[in-house]
Structure 1
C-alpha cells in the first residue's frame, strides 16, 4: 500500500502534508531510524513533494527538504563514482566530508551528526541521504539496501548507492572501504575533534 510503513505490530499510513493523499506516497529508509517519503501527485503542477519523518511517526520532521538540500545535489552525485559497485551510504558521506568540508560542516551545524552523540533526524538522514534519494528519483543514481557496517551498524541495514545502470557483483561496505584507505570503521577521536574544531557543534 502506498505510504504505509511498519511500526512494530501496526501499519502507519502516511498522508502527504501538501495534498493530503496517501495513495501516491512511497518511502525508503534513511539512517538514524528515519524514513524518506515522496508523494508523486501533481501538486498543482509543482511535481513530487518530499519529506522525512521518524520511522513509524506520522509527523514530518523537516518540510521543504528539496530547497534545503539543493546545494548538495551536485557534490553528492560526484561522491558516487562511475564504474564502482554499490557503495554503502557511509562511504558517500565520508567522501562528501573529505571533498566538500565546508558544505558538510554547514549542514552538520544545522542538523547535527551521530559523531557528536545520539540524535534523531541528523544531517545524515534528513539532508545527505534525502538528497541521494532525490538523485535516484531523477534517475541519476540507483540504490539498493544491505548491511550497515562499522560506525553505522546501529542502523542494521542501510542504503547502498551506484551510478546507473545497477552494477552486478559484491557491494562495497563502509568497513571494507575503511580498510582500503587505512582508517578505522568506527568513529575516532579525530572524527569528533574535526567536527568540534569547526566551532559548529550542534545542540544535542
Structure 2
C-alpha cells in the first residue's frame, strides 16, 4: 500500500487510493483546517515512468526543471490545468515535445498506458515535491475529461483556487501533438468520428 504524509499535517500518515493500473494514487487529508483552502486537502501521485535506461537523464537533458515552470509561468498567478501546461511546453519546445511523443506516444494519436503526458506529469510531480511548482488536484475539462481528476499547476506564491485556466476555457486544438488523429475542432474530446463529436 502506498502511504504519504499530508503536506500540512506531518503527523498524518495517509493511505493512497489507486487511480489506475499505471500506478497513480490520490491522497486525501480529512482535516478541515490547516490547509491552503478550507476543507479537506487532496493531492495526486503521478505514475512513475517505466524503467527505461537513462529516463531520469531525459528530463534533465530536455531541461524540464526549467521548461515546465516556464510553461506554467505563461499563465502566471493562476492555477493551470495539466493540458494547458503540456500545450505551452510543446509550443515553446516543439522538437523536444516531438521527441517525447515519438518515444512514449500520446492519447491524441492512440490510446496507450504510458504516454508523453504521463512522463511530463510525473516530472511535474517530482518538481512539486522539490518545491519548484505547486500542485492541486481538480476537475479535468475538455478533451482531458476522460480523467475523473487531473493535476493543476501553479508557481509560488499559491494563487487563489478560484483563479484558474482550464483546457476547455482556451478551446485549444490538439494540433501541437505531432501525428494527432483527433478530429474535434475545439480539441475538447477524443472523438475520431465527426458525427459523434458534439462540438
Structure 2 length-normalised TM:
0.63
2:162 is equivalent to residue 172 of structure 1 = no
SS of residue paired to 2:72? coil
Select the residue among 132, 150, 155 that pairs with 1:163. Answer: 155
Once the 2 structures are TM-superposed, how far is the Cα of residue 108 of structure 1 from its aligned partner? 0.8
SS of residue paired to 1:143? strand
Structure 1 gap ranges (5+): 15-26, 36-50, 53-60, 197-204
Once the 2 structures are TM-superposed, how far is the Cα of residue 6 of structure 1 from its aligned partner? 2.7
1:72-111 to 2 correspondences below 5 Å: 72-81=64-73, 83-111=76-104
Once the 2 structures are TM-superposed, how far is the Cα of residue 134 of structure 1 from its aligned partner? 1.9
Q: Deviations over 1:60-104 (max 9, x none)?
A: x33664323112221111101173211000000001111100000
Change in 2 beyond 3 A, CA 1:62/1:153: farther
Change in 2 beyond 3 A, CA 1:142/1:156: same
RMSD, aligned CA: 2.8
Number of aligned residues: 144
SS of residue paired to 1:161? strand
Once the 2 structures are TM-superposed, how far is the Cα of residue 191 of structure 1 from its aligned partner? 5.3
If each structure's helix is expressed as a fraction of its own residues, which one has the higher value?
Answer: 1
Change in 2 beyond 3 A, CA 1:28/1:66: farther
Task: Measure the CA separation in 1 of the matches of 2:95 and 2:120.
Answer: 14
1:1-204 to 2 correspondences below 5 Å: 2=3, 4-7=15-18, 28-30=44-46, 35=47, 51-52=48-49, 61-62=50-51, 65-70=55-60, 71=62, 72-81=64-73, 83-125=76-118, 127-168=119-160, 169-178=162-171, 183-184=172-173, 187=174, 190=175, 194-195=178-179
Change in 2 beyond 3 A, CA 1:191/1:163: closer
Q: Deviations over 1:111-140 (max 9, x none)?
A: 110011100111101x21111112212211
| Contact 2:44–2:137 (CA under 8 A) maintained in structure 1 | no
Task: Measure the CA separation in 2 of the matches of 1:91 and 1:68.
Answer: 22
Task: Measure the CA separation in 2 of the matches of 1:80 and 1:111.
Answer: 22
Structure 2 gap ranges (5+): 5-14, 26-42, 181-199
Task: Measure the CA separation in 2 of the matches of 1:144 and 1:133.
Answer: 11
